[in-house]
Structure 1
């Protein structure tokens, strides 16, 4: 029984080490939002440039 408990404790420790924290998730979310906004701005600028130089 004690060996089984020790094994469970080790598994829980491994899971705790690899779990994402709220801070890490918030940072990842912020990073994703920044990339999305940057991509949208870049695409909008590209479309504007194409329309302007294509004579449309």
Structure 2
């Protein structure tokens, strides 16, 4: 069972384009597949980084 704390840390790191899913999984001591299995909105979290970057660049 994956600890909720690990999942929350992964959710915090996912929008950052400097962190790959593989790197996040390695730092947290889980496999990338574990992240995909336990974070259903993983792809949306990754995609959310693009509008945030564009918005930040326009300010």
Give the TM-score normalised by the residue count of structure 1: 0.31
Structure whose CA Rg is larger:
1
Bigger RCO (CA 8 Å, 6+ sep): 2
Higher helix share: 1
